[in-house]
Structures are given as structure tokens and as C-alpha cells.
Structure 1
Amino acid sequence: MQKFIKVPHTLTLLFGMMVLAMIATWIVPQGFFETQTLANGRAAVVPGTFALVEEQHYLSPWQLLTAIPRAFASAQDVIFFVLILGGVLAIARATGTVDALIGRLLRRYGERPQMLILMVVFCFAMASSAIGTAGEYIPFVLILVALCKAMRLDAMTAVGMTVAGYGIGYGVSAINPFTVVIAQQIADLPVLSGMALRLAIFLPFVLIGFHHVWSYAKKVQADPSQSMVAGLPCPLGDKATPGYPELNWRHRLILLSFVSTIGVVAYGIRAHGWYLYELSACFIAWGLFTIVIGRVSADTAAQKFIEGAMELTTTAMLIGVARGISLVMEDGQILHTLVHALSLPLSYVGAEIAVVGMLLIQTFLNFFIPSGSGQAYVTMPLMVPLSDLLEIPRQVAVLAYQFGDGFSNMIIPTNAVLMGIIGIAGVPYGHWFRFCWPLMVKLLIASSVVLIGAVWLGYGLDVQPITASLSQ
């Protein structure tokens, strides 16, 4: 008896979504909002200005095909970051540092895998909540896959703890500069206001993610046939590691430099607005340092770098095609139509239903606008006046945006970071979807409860702008 219904290859699935997006541009009326340039130079939509285009423009199959190379060009920063990272990590593996680290972690957590899972989910969630880290987790994936393999777990467990930490951290973020800060600025709220509630719900949501991953991991550890990726090739190969070297001073220095590189990256993101180009440069520098300390010859390092990059070619392809889905929607001018149509029904329901509707709309729209800040600039100018009309505090509308954007990052195939993580781990998207959707349901139910409670308790009324004050 087959465990699962046959799911197409991830690349086939993504291209099929591009085709469906093109067909949608033939059916959905095309329209747009006027936009205005804010003080930070970003464009935001102007509420009440939606208008249909005078002449419908139908995308042709040829334009669908040309969208693919354009999508690769649009996602080039993520693609090249993944390829460079794969090459650099291959050099690090050649020094024996990764195997030595796995051996040390096995001795510490080998009999307590639940502690490892909790630690990874918690730490990744903390980082995403504080500084909006996302792509920075990609270097850890292969290490976690190798560690899980040695602990009789599987690649799905490694991806689960990584993505759960990333998505939950974004969803309940206290100070994320790419989501919370931007959304509050658009809503005319004091920056970082309302932090107490977000801090209070952080641990409960992290525990929801941990419980989901650990419940699955326990079943796999007890019976490997229960693995959702059983029978699929492991990205590290099928040969068992005969033994793990001792963690010597060279390995320790390489690991210390890796942690330092992550620290430099975090500082650069926070202080100088760095992104993937600068991140790639930092990891290239770490790779060169690893070559010197690990005493890897130049020719060996070059060969390992190429091999590592080649191993992630499939991942790069998935990232490029995933970007094409939203690109087709943008070309077909139906994105603003969807936003407008989804927001209209909320004006006819009560506050409690409307705030849950906001959550679902933000969750749905993240499929088409996978950028957290981009989604804020498109949706928040519409949700803010709508929340005023329905007597929902603006702070609650911001929280609904956070939940919808953050949690859905864990499952939407248009998220380049997600596709990079599952691609590196060798987990097909269909298998990941089956693992993740129950977690999404749990998080959406929990966040709906929080949002309804926030409406009842008047969360954010203390900072509500006077011009938008709510009747008591």
C-alpha cells in the first residue's frame, strides 16, 4: 500500500502554477491602485483609488516562456547565494569540520533529540523575531540533515525544525525591522509599540512548532518506515559515516570563524541594510579562511567548490521558477484586483470575523507577494482604513498582517528561502506540504484566538492615532 498519493516533481508543480497564473490573467479583471512614494522611497498603494484598466491585456504563452528567464534574473541574488554557499560548505566538509561537529553534537544530544529540536526551533525563531533572518539559515540545513541522519531521524525533521523556527519567528516577531517596523510606520503607530503582547505569545507559538516537529520525529525514530521521505535519496548520499573525527583546534577555529561570520552578517543587516550580495561576500571570505586554516590545497578547494555548487543546481532552478509565479501575476495586472476584491467583504462583517478575515487574506496574498515588506506596502494602506471603519485597533491589523505573512512563509512555494531549504535537503515540495499543512492549521487557529482576544481587550488603543480613535 502506498503511503502517499503520487505528487509531481517540484519543478513540474511550480511550472504548472505558472501556467495557472497565466490562465488567471485571462479570467480575472485587470486593475490597479494608484501609488504614492513614502518618505523612505518605497511606493505604497493609495486606498480608494482602485480602477480597472481600460483595455484588457492578455498574456500569451510566449510571454509565459520569457517570464522564466526573467524570473531567474529577478531571483539571481538568492540563486547565486545558494550556489556560493554550496561551494563554500563543500570546502568546509573537506576539512572534516562538519563531521567533527556532528560527532560532538551526537555525544551531547544523541539520546535527547527533543532537546536539539527545541534548541534549533527556539534559536532560529529568536533570530527571525529580532533581526528578520531567513536566508541565513540555509548554511545550517546540510549540517542538520547529517545530524538527523546520524540520530536515526530524517531530512524532513531537519527541514521542519529550521522552517518552523524561521516562520514562527517572523509571525510573532517583536522587533523585526522588515515587517513589524514597516507595518507600524504605515499604520501611523509608534515604532515597536505593543511589544508586550508579542513577547508574551512568543514561547507558546514556539512550543506549537516544537511539538509538531518532535511528534513526527518520534514516529520516525521508532519506525523509519514512517518517514515522509522514505525511499528518496539523501542529499548526503546513502553511505553511513564510519566514525567522527575529534574536534581539534583547527576545527574549532573554523567553527568560531563561522559563528563570527554569522555575527558580522547580522550586524551588517541591522546597521547597513546588507542583503544577499554582502552575505555571499562574507561567506566567500569565510571559505578562503577555511582553506588556509584547514590546509586545503588550492586545486582541491576549487574542485570541492564546484562540486558543492553543482549539488545545489536543482535548488537554484526551483528558486528561479518559483519567482516566475508572482512575476506572471504582476505582468497580468491582477495582483491589485485580488487585493481589492478580498478586502471588500470585510466591511460587511463584525470586528471579530473581520480580523480573522484579515489574517486569512494576508496568508493568501503572501503566495503572490512573498516579500514581507512588499506585502506591507500593498496591503496595510488598505487594511488600516478598513480597521478604522470596523472599530478594530490598528495594532491588531498589524498583528494580523504579521501572522499571515510570517506563518505562510513556511508553506508557499513562491518563497525563495523555503524552496532553497527544502531543495538543499532533498525534500520535494509535495512531501513538505503534507508535513507542514497541519502545523499551519494549528498556527492559524492559535493566531485567530489571539486576534479575537486582542479585539476584545482593545490591544493598541493606547497608541491609536487621535484622528482614527475608536468609539468606546
Structure 2
Amino acid sequence: MTLDSATTAPQPAGAENGPDTSKGRRQFRFPSAFAVLIALTVAVWALTFLIPAGRYDVKDGSPVPGTYHPVQLATGFWDRLKDLFLSPVNGLYGVTDAGTGITTPGGTGSFAGAAGVFLFILAVGAFITVTMRTGALTAGVARLAQRLRNHRTLLLVVLMTVFSLGGTTYGMAEETLGFYGLMIPLMLGLGYDRMVAATVIMVGAGVGTLASTVNPFATGVASDSAGIGTGDGILLRMAMWVCLTALAAAYVARYARRITQDPARSLTPLTEDDRRIKEEGSDAVRLTSRQRTVLCLFAATFLFMIFAVVPWSDIHVTFLPTLGWYFPELAALFIVAAILVGLIGALGEKGTADAITAGAGDFIGAAMIVMLARGVTVLMNNASVTDTILDALQSAVGGTSSGVFAVLMFAVNLPLAFFVPSSSGHAALAMPILAPLADFAGVGRALVVTAYQSASGWVNLITPTSAVVMGGLALAKVRYDQYLRFMAPLMGALLVVVAGFLVIGAALH
């Protein structure tokens, strides 16, 4: 999952080679998602004094096209300054008064904060960290690689599919950094290079996140912010995941086959150290019965989450009950699953508790980013400028076909994904404004969610503001320019395929 992807990232491999020209001057480092969102909060607050206040009439929770009208605010400067001060708190547990439309902590009315998402993110973090500490995930991937060692192309496809599954279900990102030490000697031993080792992991998980099906940090947060269920639009996203994963796997396998036939075409030629690692091979990996059970429980938890959030009745699957679970139930599911995994994985009571605490701590960054982003939304709503911005955007996209609208939503999210590389922060920030545009365009809000997550995932495959990208390349000892050269054709192909799916999704609505 993408936490604060713009935090300090290791320098790309090869940066240490050559003379040090950085002495005596400070190197530029892109600000973290926290810094971006805090700056954005202040900037949005200042802009609320310049943007005219206005509102739409609302029917059944959606703005009614053509009903936008200016309004006069009853709040003064000091009230607005207090809103800025309380924006993070409002973003967590603010309540919107039905009469005034103002969100405050401890008020009465409808809940506007992201407390449910906040707790859910911590629960998922605890579950994943407990599972990682049992060693089951690492051992499982290693065992899979061993079994398919004599079927190299099949191995690449299977491994990329496994990492892609992690991306599409829970936004696997930072967790991939632990697999480079395993994947590099394996790929070198099979006759491949470091680029293959890096891209099996990075592109596999990245494409899965791009085509998220139930990823709580992208699909979940965005769906919540858009006012729809996580399962809405899942069939289109599943089809995207299958096609994009196949495309990425075929691309990596083609490169791998090409360099085995002609090693001179490798973008990362073998070094003496690589040759030594290749000769040593990899140690045998044994998967214990406990780890097998943990892996089964890990997979079952995510499968049950998918079952619990999908509106089966809406897609005419009558033999399965629609549970309609949301963030409270899902948070409880992952907390219980984390405890079971810890105990089954022989972490013991203290080890399980420590892992749960550590996991929640590791994921607090993602949770706080959602809180800050939701706080920006509250600022805009309290100043009654959200509908003004929505009216301007509606005028810009008005008259376009549904297919063009879907592609425009993808394009609008591309720069946002660069400046806010946290998928959850991006979702919480953009969806309250962009999702209602779907009502005007006559398409489902789920399509806007799909367009957002596709843009976020596409950018995060290559952005230098991502610690996952830069950290992974540093671990693999692949230069960033080499990686960009490898990725350029694939990025173009992904762009075309994603645009095609968005147009199809709009046409089928």
C-alpha cells in the first residue's frame, strides 16, 4: 500500500559512482505528502476568501444539475481561521450540521470525518505486519520460485501475478522492498539481469495497484469519498487487472527472453559481483506447516473481504448473499485475522501484540494523510466553495460524451498523482470534487474512482517522488535512467489500454 510515498528515499544505485559534486550545496528533495497536504490546506483556506461561495440543490445525496446559486456566508474571518486550525480534527471526526451545512467536532448531524477509514488502515497495517513477521510471505514466494525454477518464462508470469495480486487487493508497495534480496540472486541464477529482478517485483505490484479491485488504500478510500460502495465497478476493474497484468508480464518476459538470447542487449549488464551471485545460486527454502496455514489464512482474509464488499445482488448473482460490509466490519475482520495469524504463526501473545502495535504504527502515516486530505474537503465545504469549483469543472466537461469524460477524469488525476503520491491522500482529496461530476455526465461514480486509481497507479510506476520506486531501484542497483528506458514503451501501452477500458466502462453504463 502506498503510505507517504514521498518520504526520504534512497538514492538510485550508481549515485555513489563518480566524483561527489554535491558538497557545498543542498540537494533538492521533493517534499513529502504531509508537507504537500499541509501547504495545500493553507493554500485552499486562503483561496476560499477569493472563490465565490455557492451551492447546488441536492436530491438523494447528489447535486442537481443547473441549480447552482451563490450563497452568503454567515461565518467571519475568525470563524474561518478556527476552521483552518481544526481542519485535521474535522477531517478525522467532524460532524456536519444538517441546517447550516457547517462541519465541527462534536456537533450533531451527519458524520463527515474519516475515522472509519483511519481505523481500517491501521487494522490492515497490523494484519500485514503480523503476517510478514511470521516469515510466511517471503518463504511462500521463495518456495514458488524454487518449484518453477526449470520453467523460466512461467516463473516470471507467476511471480508477477502474485505481486500483482498483492497490489490489486491491498495496494502492495513498501512491502515489496523486502523481496529484492530474494529475487536478485534467483533471477541472476536463471540467466536474467537485475532489470528483470527489479521489474518482476515493482511492475508486478505496481500494475496490480493501477488496476486495484478492492485495494483499501485506493479503491476503498476513493469509494468512501465518492459516497459509493467498494464493490461498485468491480467487474470492470477485474477485467482491467487481468488484461494489464497479462500485458506487463508479457512485456517483462519478452525482455527477459531477448537478453538470454543476446546478453549484449541487457540494459543492466552483468558485473563481476553479479557473476559471483549467479554461480552461488540460491539456498533451499522450506515452507513449514505453520507458514502454509498462515498463507491460507492470509489469502482467505482478502478473499472474504472481497466477498463481503461486493454487491452481489446488483450484479445479478442471486446464490450469494450481499453482506454490505463497510469500514467498521472490515476493520474488525483484519484485527481478528491479525490475532489469529500471530498465534498460528507462533509469534505468541507478546509477539503478536508487538507486531500489531508496530504494524499500526507503520501505517499511521497513511491514516493521517487521509485525515489531512479530508480536512481540506471540510474547509472547502464550510466555505461553500466546493460546489463553485464543481460548477466550473462541470462547465469545462459539459457537452462531452461519456467516453471523453472518463478519459478527461484520468487526465485530471495525473498531475494530482505526482504532487500527492499517496494513493489514499489523493483519493480523499480529489473524489469529493470529481465524483459528483459523474452525475452530470450521466455515468456511474465508480467510473471516476477507476479513472482516479488508474492515474495514480500509472504515475506511481515511475515517479521519482516515490520511495517504493527509488528505494527498489537502489536495492536492485538499477539506475533510474535505465529503468525509465525500460518502462517507456510499457507506459505508453498501459496508457492506451487504460483509456480503452474507461471508454468501454462509460459506454456500458
Report the Cα offset of residue 34 of structure 1.
0.6
* Per-residue CA distance 1:297-323 (angstroms, 9 max, x = gap): 322322333233333333333333233
How far apart are the structure 2 equivalents of 1:94 and 1:453? 42
Amino acid at match of 1:77: G
Structure 1 residues 221 and 316: alpha-carbon distance in aligned structure 2, compared to 1, 3 A threshold: farther
How far apart are the structure 1 equivalents of 2:327 and 2:206? 19
Report the Cα offset of residue 55 of structure 1.
3.9
How far apart are the structure 2 equivalents of 1:293 and 1:254? 7
Alignment of 1:308-319 (within 5 A): 308-319=359-370
Report the Cα offset of residue 359 of structure 1.
3.1
Q: Confirm or deny that 1:408 pairs with 2:455.
A: yes
* Per-residue CA distance 1:70-98 (angstroms, 9 max, x = gap): 22332333332333333344433443323
% of aligned pairs identical? Answer: 18
- Equivalent residue for 2:440? 382
Q: Confirm or deny that 1:165 pairs with 2:208.
A: yes
- Equivalent residue for 2:182? 150
8 Å CA contact 1:100–1:246 kept in 2: the answer is: yes
How far apart are the structure 2 equivalents of 1:83 and 1:62? 28
How far apart are the structure 2 equivalents of 1:150 and 1:164? 21
- Equivalent residue for 2:22? none
- Equivalent residue for 1:80? 119
- Equivalent residue for 1:22? 45
Report the Cα offset of residue 7 of structure 1.
0.6
8 Å CA contact 2:125–2:360 kept in 1: the answer is: yes
- Equivalent residue for 1:54? 72
How far apart are the structure 1 equivalents of 2:126 and 2:501? 43
How far apart are the structure 2 equivalents of 1:106 and 1:71? 44
Report the Cα offset of residue 424 of structure 1.
9.1
Amino acid at match of 2:39: G
- Equivalent residue for 2:412? 364
Specify the SS of the correspondent of 1:49. Answer: coil
Structure 1 residues 282 and 454: alpha-carbon distance in aligned structure 2, compared to 1, 3 A threshold: closer
8 Å CA contact 1:44–1:381 kept in 2: the answer is: yes
Counterpart of 1:32 (choices 39, 52, 55) is 55
* Per-residue CA distance 1:263-303 (angstroms, 9 max, x = gap): 22222222212123222222222233234333333223223
* Per-residue CA distance 1:187-233 (angstroms, 9 max, x = gap): xxxx99xx8x99987755555666899999999993899xxxxxxxx
Structure 1 residues 204 and 454: alpha-carbon distance in aligned structure 2, compared to 1, 3 A threshold: same
Amino acid at match of 1:340: D
8 Å CA contact 1:30–1:52 kept in 2: the answer is: yes
- Equivalent residue for 2:90? 70
- Equivalent residue for 2:62? 44
Which range moved further: 4-13 or 154-163?
154-163
How far apart are the structure 2 equivalents of 1:291 and 1:274? 24
Report the Cα offset of residue 453 of structure 1.
9.2
How far apart are the structure 1 equivalents of 2:266 and 2:352? 36
Which range moved further: 285-294 or 437-446?
437-446
Structure-1-length-normalised TM-score: 0.62
- Equivalent residue for 1:339? 390
Extract unaligned runs of 5+ from structure 1: 38-42, 129-135, 186-190, 226-241, 385-393, 414-421, 464-472
Specify the SS of the correspondent of 2:291. Answer: helix
Specify the SS of the correspondent of 2:59. Answer: strand
- Equivalent residue for 1:293? 344
- Equivalent residue for 2:327? 276
- Equivalent residue for 1:137? 170
The count of aligned residue pairs is: 386
8 Å CA contact 1:34–1:46 kept in 2: the answer is: yes
Structure 1 residues 254 and 445: alpha-carbon distance in aligned structure 2, compared to 1, 3 A threshold: closer
8 Å CA contact 1:179–1:376 kept in 2: the answer is: no
- Equivalent residue for 2:23? none
Extract unaligned runs of 5+ from structure 2: 1-10, 16-26, 94-112, 185-193, 260-264, 272-281, 311-321, 417-425, 461-465, 473-479
How far apart are the structure 2 equivalents of 1:17 and 1:437? 31
Structure 1 residues 224 and 161: alpha-carbon distance in aligned structure 2, compared to 1, 3 A threshold: farther
Structure 1 residues 68 and 256: alpha-carbon distance in aligned structure 2, compared to 1, 3 A threshold: same
Report the Cα offset of residue 36 of structure 1.
0.8
Structure 1 residues 14 and 302: alpha-carbon distance in aligned structure 2, compared to 1, 3 A threshold: same
Aligned-residue Cα RMSD (Å) equals 5.2
How far apart are the structure 1 equivalents of 2:246 and 2:398? 35
Amino acid at match of 2:308: G
- Equivalent residue for 2:304? 264
Q: Confirm or deny that 1:115 pairs with 2:157.
A: yes
Structure 1 residues 97 and 337: alpha-carbon distance in aligned structure 2, compared to 1, 3 A threshold: same
Structure 1 residues 259 and 122: alpha-carbon distance in aligned structure 2, compared to 1, 3 A threshold: closer
